Homo-oligomer: A and B are copies of this chain.
Amino acid sequence: MMTGAQYKASLNDGRETYFEGERVPDVAAHPQLNASLDRIADCYDSFYDPAPGAVNAMMSIPRSGAELRDRIPLLHQADIVANTTYQSLMTVTTVAGRIGEQFPVYAERMRKWVAEMQAADTRITECITDAKGDRSLPPGKQTDPDAYTRVVERRDDGVVIRGAKLHITGASLSHELLTIPTKAMKPGEEDYAIACAVPVNAAGVKIVNTTYAPRHEDMRSFPISATHNFPEGFVIFDDVFVPNERIFLDGETKFAAVFAHSLGLWERLGGLAFLADEADELVGFAQLIAEANGLAKEGHIREKITEMIIHATLIRAALEAAIANCKIGEDGAAFPDELYTNAGKYHGAANYNLMCRHLHDIAGGSVLTAPGIADLENNEVGALVRKYMATGVGPAEDGEYRMRLFHAIRDLTADAYGGWKFVTNLQAGGGLYAQRIVTRKHYDMEAAKKKALKLAGLAPAEH
Chain A interface residues toward B at CB < 8 A: 16, 18, 20-23, 129, 131-137, 142-144, 146-147, 163-164, 166-167, 206, 208, 210, 212, 214-218, 223-224, 232, 234, 236, 238, 277, 280-285, 287-288, 293-295, 297-300, 302-303, 305-306, 309-310, 312-314, 316-318, 320-322, 324-325, 339-340, 343-344, 346-347, 350, 353-354, 356-357, 360-361, 364-372, 374-375, 377-378, 380-381, 384-385, 387-393, 397, 401, 404-405, 407-408, 410, 412-416, 418-420, 422-424, 426-427, 431-433, 436-437, 439-440, 443, 445, 447-453, 455-458
Contacts and interface: CB of A to CB of B under 8 A. Distances in A.
A14 to B, nearest CB: 14
A228 to B, nearest CB: 9
Nearest to A343: B313
B210 A365 contact: no
A144 B423 contact: no
A381 B448 contact: no
Given A167-B368, A297-B136, A391-B135, A347 B314 contact: yes
Contact of A456 (B144, B297, B404): B404
Contacts of A374: 20-21
A455 B408 contact: yes
7 contacts: A144-B390, A167-B369, A208-B385, A281-B455, A317-B317, A368-B423, A413-B422
Q: Which of A288, A344, A371 has the largest count of B CB atoms less than 10 A from its CB?
A: A371
A458 B20 contact: no
Contacts of A427: 360, 364-365
A295 B144 contact: no
A363 B295 CA distance: 28
B317 A380 contact: no
Q: Which of A282, A354, A368, A370 has the largest count of B CB atoms less than 10 A from its CB?
A: A368
A427 to B, nearest CB: 4
Contact of A436 (B16, B303, B372): B303
B206 A384 contact: yes
A321 B424 CA distance: 27
A302 B439 CA distance: 12
Contacts of A23: 378, 380
A385 B101 CA distance: 40
A280 B134 contact: no
Contacts of A283: 443, 445, 448, 452
A309 B438 CA distance: 11
A241 to B, nearest CB: 17
Given A320-B324, A354-B354, A385 B234 contact: yes
Given A20-B375, A368-B212, A374-B20, A431 B340 contact: no
B238 A370 contact: no
